[in-house]
Structure 1
Amino acid sequence: MGRRSTQVSVATAVVATALLSFVAAARSSFPEDLAGAPRLGGAPWLVGELLVLAQAVLLLLRDRAPLALVVTAVAAPLGALVGLGPAIGATSVAVLVAAYRVASRRVDARGGGSLAVAAVLVATGELLAQRGAGAPAGQAVAGAVVQGLGVAGLGALVGVVVGTRRETRAARAEQLRAETGERTAMVEAAVARERTAMARELHDIAAHHLTGIAVMSAAISKQVDRDPAAAKEAIEQVREQTTSMLRDMRGLVGMLRSTGQDPTVAPTRESLDGIPALVEAARERGEPVHLIRSGPADRPGQDDVGPLVQLAAYRTVQEALTNAARHAPGQECRVEVDTTSADALRLTVVNDLAPAARRPSPSRAGFGLVGMRERAELTGCRLEHGEVDGTWRVTLAIPIDDGPRLAAPSVEGTTT
């Protein structure tokens, strides 16, 4: 029994008592219309008062039980039998409240049955009261039907509306909780992806530069006695590589720390226009790498491909060059930029395979190809890699939307 139930039960008793007393008191003012009403303080009035109080107590004890609705409605025919007459409506107040409570939960078979029985009992009480007052049979039946359907139906209608709104609010709250949980899960997944991307970026930067340093260090060990000048130049290149690696890593960490930088803007150097610099840096390390462009000079660049796609393309070429230097050192390598198609820009890195005895075992493979594949999937590109006619080929197809139809292919010379 909650505080609200107590308040509703008390209010029901007060309203029913006031209605019963008002009709009894008005009998003297309207003797013809209220001839069958009980006298104030008389026996029928006292019995009617006990009935409405019993109804209020039943509402308090049984709260929303369908049985409480039926038992409460029994007071209507009982009141008519003890002589409440026109004051029989006082017993309908509790029935109205009970019907509302039953319908506000959920109108199932049991609840619907209790509403029907209550309507019949209220109608019976009204019929007995009108017939006792001498009303014609037709008028008494019509009044009884209206009273029964009005009391039970009105309470049920209000209860259904309120219950539906309550369920709607609950459903919205549940949906909001689900959406909040989904957003939280999406944020956590995004954080996990960002952590993976951070690790991949650091791997790409460190692996690319350290591979070049390792290659140049091997050359320095042979040049230091035979060609000191070349050894000094190679040492300078090692210094440049380490400086570049530190700068790239510092830039990446700084970008991750920054809260105001737009994450969709890639550094200018790490874009399609930075690929020639990658090739040139590899050539300076002594790697046999060449750049070949197929297509017109106005190839897609910064304004034609999104910054995240350009960063993915740059990293793919960088990783492919690193893998070529690591797994096939000294072998010819080509970076091909093909802009002949109006639908896609194709970047291909091809290197001759190392002798079988020098190839790394599959168990020693790193995460370079995995990183390339994930970058391609995240940016809507298509990545292909594998052995083709004694070479290892990595191809990244970058889609171009609404691009102009490009001219027939033309091949430029290698970079110098």
Structure 2
Amino acid sequence: MSPVGLPRTARVGSDWSAGILAAVCWLVIAGVLVALPAIAPTEPAAIAAPPGSAPWWATLAAVTAQSIALPWARRMPVVVLTLVAGIAFVLAWAVPPAYLSLATLAYLIAVYLVFSTRSLRSLWRVLALAAGIMVVANVVAEIRSDELDPAVAIGLAIVQTAVATGLPLLLALVVFSRREAREAHSGELRALARERDALVQASVARERAAMARELHDIAAHHLSGIALMASAIHRQIDRRPAEAKESVLQVRDQSIAVLADLRRVVGLLRGDDAAELSLESLATVAELVATAQPDGTATEFVTVGDAPELGAGVGPLAQLTAYRMVQESLANAALHAPGAGRRVTIDDSDSTAVTITVTHAPAAPSAPGTAPSAIGTGGGFGLIGMRERAELVGGELSYGRTADGGWQVRLRLARDRAAGTAAPDDSGRTPGVPR
């Protein structure tokens, strides 16, 4: 688990890399301390603090403490930067001035480790404090060497600290900016993935709703007819067995029809090439009306207009919506007003839209059923499903009681203006569109 409060970018830099840098730092400095007398026996530092002397051990202990602190630079940047600079400051007073440069290496690594995972804006005060401590340490070392005037020593200390701070800081900022860019890109990819998942979920929800309406329309049309015919068979079986047998055949036909519709819906879900994928349209409404007689009452079917193709310019989904509206309306009429006259009208005479109207007369006083006004107000999805379908295809659905107490459902579907279709002329007639 990452430490509490550690930024995401800091977690990217692994602790083992900081540990490797710390180990390399200690090995380099320890090697220099051991090899200095052999490499440069005349060096003042080698003469003043030979291996095994107190200043030599003090220098080794100081750089060891710095190296131990370096792996924690990304977790505790304030503490590590201050500690590394503070050790260098103490070392400037206790050992030969030349040894201070050995403690500067840990300071360079600490600056890089901190700012390769942290923004400069958040820690600039700490960096300024550490750099100030290093300036003082370098001034002390230069003054103790008795080689430079104080003013020159101060200027040289500032330059040395600026270089020791600026070089690792510049490299760290480059690494940090690249890491931030990668993190931003990863964030964009995650956002795109979430957006894609949301779109997929929304599409699945829409398909589920559409499938629920489809199954409801199938069940409402066929099963309500089967229920009515079963009630008729129950009354006819003893007194009029011949009519009861005829009703049984009708129940069989309705059952076969609902099974075929359900197979088609399941085939659409499977994407099976062998399944029947054709959609109902306005052209198949006549067949629907001819077979939709569950209570034995014939339905009148009327078309207005002389177009060679019924519903030309209306998309397939809109035509399927019209078909389902007629199917649902006839099922509701048979359920709520059995025996009442029914009429389906398709007005195809308007060049801009097709209007489908389903009307039934009021139910007989003795007829069982529920008033049409209750349709869709309960737990069913009749009128609700019709309205949702109409809105999805840009249609206009209206319904309500007629003047004689019956019920009427009307759906208006706009035609899609085909490419190259001429605009209406002065007489209001569109060329090429039958009137």
TM-score higher than 0.5:
yes
Amino acid of the structure 2 residue aligned with 1:311: L
1:346 to 2:355 alignment: yes
Q: Which moved more, 1:246-255 or 1:58-67?
A: 58-67
Aligned to 1:53: 64
TM-superposed deviation, 1:113: 1.8
TM-superposed deviation, 1:319: 0.7
The alignment yields a C-alpha RMSD, in angstroms, of 4.4
Within 5 A, what are the aligned runs for 1:99-248?
A: 99-107=111-119, 111-131=123-143, 132=145, 134-135=147-148, 140-163=153-176, 165-166=178-179, 191=204, 194-213=207-226, 237-248=250-261
Contact 1:266 1:311 in 2 (8 A): no
Contact 2:89 2:134 in 1 (8 A): yes
Contact 2:283 2:310 in 1 (8 A): no
Aligned to 1:282: 292
d(CA) in 1 for partners of 2:21 and 2:180?
Answer: 22
Residue 339 of structure 2 aligns to a residue whose secondary structure is: coil
Contact 1:127 1:144 in 2 (8 A): yes
1:94 to 2:109 alignment: no
Within 5 A, what are the aligned runs for 1:329-408?
A: 329-340=338-349, 344-354=353-363, 360=370, 362=374, 366-390=380-404, 391-403=406-418, 404=421, 407=429
Contact 2:279 2:320 in 1 (8 A): no
d(CA) in 1 for partners of 2:224 and 2:353?
Answer: 31
d(CA) in 1 for partners of 2:72 and 2:146?
Answer: 34
What are the Cα deviations for residues 80-114 of structure 1, in whole angstroms up to 9, with x where unaligned? 43454455332122112222333344348773222
Contact 1:27 1:37 in 2 (8 A): no
Q: Which moved more, 1:180-189 or 1:120-129?
A: 180-189
What are the Cα deviations for residues 10-58 of structure 1, in whole angstroms up to 9, with x where unaligned? 2221233345667766645xx7xxx655447355554333321221123
**Structure 2 gap segments, 5+ residues each:** 4-14
Aligned to 1:17: 30
Residue 67 of structure 1 aligns to a residue whose secondary structure is: helix
Taking structure 1 as reference, are residues 286 and 357 closer, same or farther at Cα in structure 2, changes over 3 Å only?
A: closer
Contact 1:80 1:128 in 2 (8 A): yes
Amino acid of the structure 1 residue aligned with 2:284: G
Taking structure 1 as reference, are residues 397 and 95 closer, same or farther at Cα in structure 2, changes over 3 Å only?
A: farther
Contact 2:279 2:316 in 1 (8 A): no
1:319 to 2:331 alignment: no
TM-superposed deviation, 1:122: 2.0
Contact 2:282 2:310 in 1 (8 A): no
d(CA) in 2 for partners of 1:187 and 1:173?
Answer: 21
Taking structure 1 as reference, are residues 10 and 238 closer, same or farther at Cα in structure 2, changes over 3 Å only?
A: closer
Aligned to 2:7: none
**Structure 1 gap segments, 5+ residues each:** 412-416
d(CA) in 2 for partners of 1:332 and 1:254?
Answer: 36
TM-superposed deviation, 1:235: 6.1
The size of the alignment, in residue pairs, is 400
Taking structure 1 as reference, are residues 120 and 360 closer, same or farther at Cα in structure 2, changes over 3 Å only?
A: same
TM-score when normalising by structure 1: 0.75
Aligned to 1:41: 50
Residue 291 of structure 1 aligns to a residue whose secondary structure is: strand
Contact 1:288 1:330 in 2 (8 A): no
1:64 to 2:76 alignment: yes
What are the Cα deviations for residues 332-379 of structure 1, in whole angstroms up to 9, with x where unaligned? 433333445555443332333436786615366732112222323444
TM-superposed deviation, 1:243: 2.6
d(CA) in 2 for partners of 1:274 and 1:54?
Answer: 89
Amino acid of the structure 2 residue aligned with 1:117: L
Taking structure 1 as reference, are residues 260 and 231 closer, same or farther at Cα in structure 2, changes over 3 Å only?
A: closer
TM-score when normalising by structure 2: 0.72
Contact 1:72 1:94 in 2 (8 A): yes
1:249 to 2:262 alignment: yes
Amino acid of the structure 1 residue aligned with 2:82: V
Residue 346 of structure 2 aligns to a residue whose secondary structure is: strand
Amino acid of the structure 1 residue aligned with 2:407: W
TM-superposed deviation, 1:116: 0.6
Contact 1:290 1:335 in 2 (8 A): yes
d(CA) in 2 for partners of 1:24 and 1:260?
Answer: 86
What are the Cα deviations for residues 147-187 of structure 1, in whole angstroms up to 9, with x where unaligned? 32333344344444445555565566566566656655665
TM-superposed deviation, 1:66: 0.7
Taking structure 1 as reference, are residues 332 and 149 closer, same or farther at Cα in structure 2, changes over 3 Å only?
A: farther
Residue 398 of structure 1 aligns to a residue whose secondary structure is: strand
d(CA) in 2 for partners of 1:165 and 1:353?
Answer: 76
d(CA) in 1 for partners of 2:334 and 2:265?
Answer: 24
Of all paired residues, the percent bearing the same amino acid is 35
Aligned to 1:414: none
What are the Cα deviations for residues 103-134 of structure 1, in whole angstroms up to 9, with x where unaligned? 34434877322211111122233334445363
Within 5 A, what are the aligned runs for 1:300-311?
A: 300-301=311-312, 304-311=313-320
Amino acid of the structure 2 residue aligned with 1:72: V
Residue 292 of structure 2 aligns to a residue whose secondary structure is: helix
Contact 1:24 1:87 in 2 (8 A): no
Aligned to 2:278: 268
